[in-house]
Structures are given as structure tokens and as C-alpha cells.
Chains A and B, each alone.
Chain A
Amino acid sequence: MIGNSMTAELFALRRRRAVWVLVGFWSAQILLFAYTISYVIYLSMGADFAAGQAEALLASLLPASVDHYIVGSMPIWGGPVMLIIGGMVSAGDYRNGTLRTILARFADRRALLLGRYAAVVLVMLIVSIISLVVGTACSTVVSLAEARPLVFPSFGQFLTAAGALWLVEIAWASVGFALGIVTRNVGATIGIGLVWTLLVENVLGSLLGALDLNPIRAVMLGPASAAIAQAQGGDPSAGGGFAITAATGPGAAVAVLLGYAVLSLAIALFTFNRRDVV
């Protein structure tokens, strides 16, 4: 039953343009913020900068750094996009009334939701791979433009980076998935998700950091994602003007992210099972 639901949801997702627009948007963010702007900054660095500073920036843009550089971009730039994708999958059917059509035939709500969640998890894996492919392509162009040797991370490093990206993406998408079920509205999910990211993860997170309240920050989604990025050797501020910084080590961060995923799924299942569908 779960397999049928996952297969059906993947069939629907392949034809849902908005999801792939969002994946394209995330890829464009990598291209624009992580590479293009950073490279322009590197090119505009004059003699005022310490020699090591410019070289360090260029080194992060080269293929050898692509694995941890892309992971570093995820906490601030990729997370909200994944949250929206999760919300679109879970809340999209409320808008068209299609949930009624599906549930009247496929009444196992638990299997329906678990299948859809599995589809989201699979899409997140695809997004991880796409992110690394886009990053590798961008870094290759920088390398060629700078006439530097093409040195790529090992396959194992790529796999580790893909795994780290996948975990962070699943955590964010799970929150969106639960929000979609609770609000039954894609627009509300996006709104709440973005407000949460901007106000809680960024503003409140920074405030808590300034007050040295790291135990609280340690259980927040952004800092936990940042901890994973930092453990990979990435800089969570990659390509951006401000950063969500880590508040804990990678082990605790993995537990926090998995906790978000499990808790979100539990909330979604509980809510979905209890409610009438009209």
C-alpha cells in the first residue's frame, strides 16, 4: 500500500511543474549566490585585501571544495526551498479537492501519507545529487577561467556530501510536510515557513547566539543544519551576506535533524488520521 502511494505521488510530482521550478530556483541560487557573486567578489578584490583572503575565496570556488561548499550553502538558502516543496506535496491536494477523490478509493490514510513522505524523501535525494552536479559544473567553469588544474573530491567525499545534504533537506522538507497537513493550505505553509526561517531561525537564532544561549540554538533547525555543514568543512555563510552558525557538534546535529523529521512526520500522521476530509 505504501509502495502504491509512493509510486502514485512520484507520478504526480513528475508532472507538477511548480516542484521542478523550485528545484531550478535552488539550482539558480547555487549558480548565482554561491558561485557567480562570490567569483565577482574575488575578481574585484584589490590590493587592500590580504593575499591569503583572496586565495581562500578562490579555493572555495574550485572543484576540490565543491562537496563541502554546497553543503555550506544549504542551511540559509536551500532549507526554505525544501520546506516549500514538502508543503506543496502534503497540502496541494486540499486545494483541488483531489484528496477526496483519492481517499475515497485509497482509504488507508497512514499508507497514503507514508507513501507521499517517501516520495518527498526520494525527491530530496535527487535534489542533493542535482545540487552537487550544478556545483561541480560551476566550479569547473571557475577553474577553467582561472586556468587552475581540475581536481575533484573523491567519490567517497561526494557520497558524504550527498548524504549530509540529503539529511538537511529531509529535515526542512519534513517541517514543510507537517505544516502542509496542519494548515491544509500551500500558501499558508509557505508563509509560515518563510516567517519561521526569517524570524525564528535568523533573527531569534542570532539573538540567542549573542546572548550565548547555545543550548536553545542547538535544537533549532538552522544551527543544526549549519553544524552538519561545518562538520563537512563548509562555511554556512557560503555566498551569502549572513550566516546561520552552528551551536553544536555534528553528532548532536544529526540527532536534532532526525528528530525534526520524525516529529514532523508524527504530527502529520496524527493530524491527517484524525481529521474529516470534506
Chain B
Amino acid sequence: MSTGAAIHVTGLTKSYAAGAVAVGDLDLTVERGQVYGFVGRNGAGKTTTMRMLVGLIRPTAGTGAVLGRPLGDPAALARVGSLIEGPSFYPHLSGRDNLRLLARYLGLPDTEVDAALERVELAHRAGDRFRAYSLGMKQRLGVAAALLGDPELLILDEPTNGLDPAGIVAMRELIGSLAAADRTVLLSSHQLNEVEEICDRIAVIHNGRLIAEGTVADIRSAGGTGSLLIRADPLDKASAVVAALPQVTSVAEVGGALAVQTDPANAAAVNRALALADIDVLELRVVRQSLEDAFLDITHDNGPVPTGDQLEAR
């Protein structure tokens, strides 16, 4: 396996004749061995970016490399497995024959096909025609196609789309096993809890532009600092004491508790102030901002573009 970033693009842009910019000036680096999340709303430019990475469409501007070779390089892309914009196969062929066809393009033996089918737990239905598959089975066949030849880099666009809960868990385990085997995965998904769980780093793309990039913790903090939940007695007195603290942004009473907007690092100071005011603190816990909350905040706000370094410096 060669060294260097698995994916590195600079100023990647795709615009169309009508003037629409699908992706604008995108800088992205995915290091080898990472599971990298690529998130954004529908139409944000995720799939267009992935298409450019695998050479299906050509960038209007910008440069980049995949596995150390220029974008679209056939030798590099033979080492990249991908599932982009849903699984597309010949409907009249069986799942196995569809993979055998792809294996012939790649010069792989049929034993690789069987191994890939086993890996996505589709071997028992491999002889059925693709058109007879459920959405989840089609998706698994798409992942099996991406796994053919044990590629160094996997680019997966919504791989859990259409999967049942068990399938989602199996997909998470599969991606985990790929990461454990030192494979690189670029993953786009709307399932932010999945992304949060399996990705090392995340890029958030909005209206074709990168608006945040960093670790899961970086992105979470980029969307806000989180909050505290306090149960105390008497609650109205506690509310007044907490609201008077300079570190606190706001206090709201929710279901018999106080939702306090402040940096979770201020928890001890808040607790101390309540104790000094002779208030019984029944519960005080940090409510961390979820990736979903952060994503909604970031994409709603869409202000300046924080990079990983900027986020880490915060």
C-alpha cells in the first residue's frame, strides 16, 4: 500500500453551462485508514463530489488525487470500490452474474465474487435476478460490488439506504472491519448517528461548499457548546440564581427541570453557586450537543468556513 492521503482535492469545482455551481472550491483531504464522513443536505453536492472522485464526471476547476494518482486515473480507480447514487445493475441478470460481469472487467476470478457475496450476507439469494431483489438486497449487492477485489479505498454514498435495522448494524460492523483492516472509507449518509458512531472525521458540505471539517467532537462543538440540565429545590429560586451567572446564556424551565445554555465546562461553577444559595441540587448533568443538532445549526447558519485546524483551536 502506498503512502500519502487517500484522497486530496484542492479547489474542486463543478459548474454547469446554466451557471449552477454543484460544487465550489472544495478542499478535502482523507488520510489513509480513516473512516471519513461526508454529510450535507439533499443537493448539497456530496454525490457530485463523489462522482468527480471516481472519474464519472470531470471537474470544471481544481485538482486532486485519489490514492496518489490524478482524478480519473484508471489504475487508481481499479483500487477504489464505490457505491454511488444507489446500486445500478442489469435487472435480468442474477446478483451473482452481475458481480461476475464486473469481475471480468477487473480481471478477477469468480471466487472473489462468492467472497464478496458472503461478506454482505447475500450468498443465499445470489442466484435470483436483480429485479427480484428488495431495496435492501439491492443495496447489499451494491456494497458487494464495491468490495470486489478488496479495494484500498471505498467511496460509499448512502450505503445504509433501504436497509432494515439489522442490515444497518451489519453495515456498521462491515465498515468497522474495513477500517480495522486499514482500508479507507469515504462515507456519505443522512444517518448522522451512524456517522457519529463510525467516522473518524467529518466534512459538512452545504450548497456545494465545505462549511465545516474536523473530528466528530470538533463538529459537535462547532454547532454550539451544549447545555446543562438541572433539577433543584426550590426550582424558581434556582432559576434566578443560575440566570444571574455571567457564564450562562439562557435558562428555561422544561418539565420540572432547568435547561441552562452554557459551556458544559461551567458545570462546577453553577453547582457551587446553587449550593452557596442554599439550594438542593437533585441532578446536574451535561447535555452534549448531538451531531444532528450541530449539523442543523451549522447548515442553518452557514457562516464562515471553519477548517479542522480552526475548529481544534477553539
Q: Does A44 contact B (CB under 8 A)?
A: no
Where the two chains meet, the residues of A that have a C-beta atom closer than 8 Å to any C-beta of B are 1, 4-5, 7-8, 11-12, 15-17, 96-98, 100-108, 111-112, 276-278
Contact of B106 among A11, A17, A98, A105 (CB under 8 A): A105
**Bound-complex Cα distance A199 to B142 (A):** 44
- Do B105 and A102 have beta carbons less than 8 Å apart? yes
Known: A102-B105, A106-B78, A107-B72. A96 touches B91 (CB 8 A): yes
- Distance from B67 Cβ to chain A, minimum over Cβ atoms (Å): 12
Q: B82 within 8 Å of A by Cβ?
A: yes
* Contact A104 B85, CB 8 Å, known A7-B104, A15-B93: no
Q: When chains A and B are docked, how far (Å) is the Cα of A101 from the Cα of B81?
A: 10
Contacts A4-B106, A12-B93 supplied; 18 other A-B pairs, CB < 8 Å:
A1-B74, A8-B102, A11-B101, A12-B101, A15-B90, A96-B91, A97-B88, A98-B89, A100-B56, A100-B85, A103-B56, A105-B148, A107-B72, A107-B73, A112-B105, A276-B57, A277-B56, A277-B57
Q: Shortest CB–CB separation between residue B91 and chain A, in angstroms?
A: 7
Q: Which residues of A contact B81 (CB under 8 A)?
A: 105
Q: Is B51 an interface residue (CB 8 A)?
A: yes
A184 vs chain B, min Cβ distance (A): 14
Q: How far is the CB of B122 from chain A (nearest CB, A)?
A: 16
Q: Indicate whether B107 reaches chain A with its CB closer than 8 angstroms.
A: yes
Q: Tell me how far the C-beta of A181 lies from the nearest C-beta in chain B, rounded to whole angstroms.
A: 16
- Knowing A277-B56, A278-B56, the reply to whether A101 touches B106 (Cβ < 8 A) is no
> Given contacts A4-B107, A104-B82, are A278 and B89 in contact (CB under 8 A)?
no
B-to-A contact residues, CB < 8 Å: 51, 54-58, 72-74, 77-78, 80-82, 84-93, 97, 100-102, 104-107, 142, 145, 148
Q: Which residues of A contact B101 (CB under 8 A)?
A: 8, 11-12
Q: Given A100-B84, A106-B106, A15–B74 Cβ distance below 8 Å?
A: no
CB distance from B185 to the nearest CB of A (A): 15
- Complex formed: what's the CA distance from A12 to B51 in Å? 25
Is there an interface contact between A98 and B73, defined as CB atoms closer than 8 Å? no
Main secondary structure, interface of B, reads: loop
Instruction: From the candidates A17, A97, A107, name the one contacting B77 in the complex (CB within 8 A).
Output: A107
**Which residues of the partner chain B approach A104 to less than 8 Å between Cβ atoms?**
54-56, 77, 80, 82, 84
Tell me the total A-B contact number using a CB cutoff of 8 A: 90
| Shortest Cβ distance from residue A209 to the other chain B in the assembled complex, whole angstroms | 43
A18 to chain B, nearest CB (A): 9
Query: In the bound complex, do residue B88 and residue A276 qualify as a contact, i.e. CB atoms below 8 Å apart?
Result: no
Q: CB-CB < 8 A to B73: which residues of A?
A: 107
In the docked arrangement, what's the CA distance between A276 and B51, Å? Answer: 9
Give Cα distance in the complex from A8 to B97, angstroms: 11
Contacts of B105 in A (CB 8 A): 4-5, 8, 102, 105-106, 112
Q: In the complex, what's the smallest C-beta–C-beta distance from B13 to chain A, in angstroms?
A: 14
In the assembled complex, the CB of A128 is this many whole angstroms from the nearest CB of chain B, namely 25
Asked if B92 and A15 sit within 8 Å, CB to CB, the answer is yes
The docked-state distance in angstroms from the alpha carbon of A60 to that of B82 is 58
- 6 residue pairs bridging A and B, Cβ less than 8 Å apart: A98-B88, A101-B89, A106-B105, A107-B54, A107-B55, A112-B105
In the bound complex, how far is the Cα of B73 from the Cα of A106, in angstroms?
10
CB distance from A3 to the nearest CB of B (A): 9
- Give the docked Cα–Cα distance between A7 and B110 (Å): 14
Question: With the chains together, A16 CA to B93 CA distance in Å?
Answer: 9
A12 touching B78 by the CB < 8 A rule?
no
